[in-house]
Every structure is written in C-alpha cells, then in structure tokens.
A = this chain, B = another copy of it.
C-alpha cells in the first residue's frame, strides 16, 4: 500500500446520489474532500477554510496566473476553483482525497494529472434516474426535463472514466466505493516509490 494518499474525482448525473455517497465516505472512513476557493461572498454561517476559501477577484486571478488551481470555472459571474496546495498537503499527509467535479472539468484535470482516478456514479438505468429526480419533489417538471436532457449529453463521458460505479442501494454503493478507493493504493501509478525501493533493495545482492 502506498503511504501517500490517492486522489479520485467523483462525477455523475444529477440525481445519481454522488453528494450523499461522498458525504458517507467522509463521515464513515475519513476521506478528505477539497475545499474550493471562490470569489462569491460568504453566506451566513459559512466559514473561511471550512466551507470555502473566500478570495477577491484580483487574488483569484493571481492564483490562476500562478497556476495554483487544479481546475477552476466561472459560474453565474463568480469564480470557483480547487486550490492545488490544500489537496497536495492532504495527499502528502497520507489522506485519500475526493474531488466532486463535473465531467468536462474532470477530464481536463486528468489531462494535467494522469495519476488521478476518475470515478463515474450512475443509477442502474435511465428510468431509475428519472424516478429519483421526480421523487425529490422539489423541482418543476421543466427542471427535471432539463436535467434528463443534460444527462443524455453527459452519458458519452462515461467512456472516458476509469471506473463506472452503479448506485443502486446507497449503503452497498458506499462499501463498494471504499473497497475500490482502497484498491487504488495498489495501482502501479500509486506504487512507484515502493517499486523503486524493491529495485534498490536488490541492487546490492
């Protein structure tokens, strides 16, 4: 097992349950999640370094110039980004880190950091996706249809992900995710230091 933490990106359709799964993984197994930086103002109760790192537009753009983000995007006039330093600190300390990022962003991160593992969470089928979106009871039919239409576009991205995990029953899915994430410690890319040690160990024989 590598001593360094592993970095995994979690994506999936709206309604796939990825937020709940990530929450359970943090609570039950102590995974770290990244804290985003943003230029939007803190809402009541939000704390610096807990919910977000709050930045001025100027400071955020300086961070962009210094390539201090794993990824960033603009959304409704504000910047949101994943600062590299926080994630690297966690990984160096041996903590496994989960990033919840939408698909286009996820693929960009994978290009820059090929050692990242991409995990796609999906309901077992399309009718179950619709049932879950409708079951929330909080959105209009129009919003639900928009989400389904977006998922239809997004499903092509599944083929670029390293792992496709089906969220059929929440508890089973959390256990499956944990087993999958732990097995990544044995993946070649995460065992480079160990391989070097073994090769060095043979050198004097």
Please state the number of chain copies in the assembly.
2
What is the size, in residues, of chain A's interface with B at 8 Å between Cβ atoms? 36
For A179, give the chain B residue with the smallest CB separation: B179
B186 touches A156 (CB 8 A): no
Establish whether residues B180 and A163, one from each chain, have CB atoms under 8 Å apart when the complex forms.
Answer: no
Contact between B126 and A164 (Cβ–Cβ < 8 Å)?
no
Q: A159-B195, A195-B158, A195-B159 are in contact. Are A186 and B201 (CB under 8 A)?
A: no
Q: Determine if B165 and A198 form an interchain contact, defined as CB atoms under 8 angstroms apart.
A: no
Interface residues of A in 104-135 (CB under 8 A from B): 122, 125-127
- Cα–Cα, bound, A198→B166 (Å): 11
Of A27-35, A81-89, A147-155, which stretch is located at the interface? Answer: A147-155
Q: When the two chains form their complex, are residues B179 and A162 in contact, meaning their CB atoms are under 8 A apart?
A: no
Q: Which residues of B contact A186 (CB under 8 A)?
A: 163-166, 176, 180
Sample (25) of A-B pairs whose CB atoms are under 8 Å apart:
A125-B201, A126-B202, A126-B205, A149-B205, A151-B202, A152-B202, A155-B195, A155-B198, A155-B202, A156-B199, A158-B188, A158-B191, A158-B195, A158-B198, A163-B191, A164-B186, A164-B194, A164-B195, A165-B186, A166-B186, A166-B194, A176-B182, A179-B182, A179-B183, A180-B186
Q: Which residues of A contact B (CB under 8 A)?
A: 1, 122, 125-127, 148-149, 151-152, 155-156, 158-159, 161-166, 176, 179-180, 182-183, 186-188, 191, 194-195, 197-199, 201-202, 205
- Known A126-B201, A151-B202, A166-B194; 5 more pairs at CB < 8 Å: A125-B201, A126-B202, A158-B191, A162-B188, A176-B183
